[in-house]
Structure 1
Amino acid sequence: MRPQQNPMVLVNADLLVQLMKRTGDGREVSVRDLADAAGCHPSKIGHLRSGERRTATHDEALAIAKRLGVDLLVLWEHTGRTVEAPAEPQHMFAVPA
């Protein structure tokens, strides 16, 4: 079983639309092409573009950013914990005399 990932949140739907018009290599990318790159259904990309949806898995977000030619955190922000919570310190116990 694959470990559950915290979803990534799209920072700005308009920025996604703009970056799709002119990717890192200077060419436009279609909804279908971006969905293929991300491994998701084209309707998910459509919903992200329109603002109806704001989240994607980490793998999808990374693939979208890579296809558009930008760093992950240009378009996405993390949710939840990104690192493990620190372990609680061991408490000292009083020793009876």
Structure 2
Amino acid sequence: MVLVSADLLVQLMKRTGDGREVSVRDLAEAAGCHPSKVDALRNGRRKKSSLDEALAIAKRLGVDLLVLWEHTGRTVEAPAEPLHMAAVPA
């Protein structure tokens, strides 16, 4: 997942869905990651996070996932083609 905006994350941390501020440490604990990762997201040094972390962060802040995050790449990995069915050069 890619963070939509570091500024938006900062604003949402100042006033969560329940109206209270959340610290970097508290948000990291909710997401199950190191506080330095949350700090890097806040400061724009990092933009990507795993789906599980993104979901946990959005939930802790009281917003829908896609308010704060964008999907990247394929959401479901394409099945591998069996070797016996692989294309052969002409």
Name the TM-score, length of structure 1 as normaliser. Answer: 0.78
Deviation at 1:43, TM superposition (A): 0.2
1:56 to 44, 49, 62: 49
Residue aligning to 1:3: none
Structure 1: tracts of 5 or more residues without a match: 1-7, 86-97
Structure 1 letter corresponding to 2:52 = D
Residue aligning to 2:66: 73
For 1:1-97, what aligned pairs fall within 5 Å after superposition? 8-83=1-76
> How much identity, in percent, do the aligned residues show?
85
Deviation at 1:84, TM superposition (A): 5.7
Structure 2: tracts of 5 or more residues without a match: 79-90
Q: Secondary structure at the match of 1:56?
A: coil
Across the aligned residues of Structure 1 and Structure 2, the Cα RMSD in angstroms comes to 1.5
Structure 2 letter corresponding to 1:32 = R
Deviation at 1:83, TM superposition (A): 4.4
Task: Specify which structure has the higher proportion of helix.
Answer: 2
Q: Which runs of 4+ in 1 moved over 4 A?
A: none
How many residues are paired up?
Answer: 80
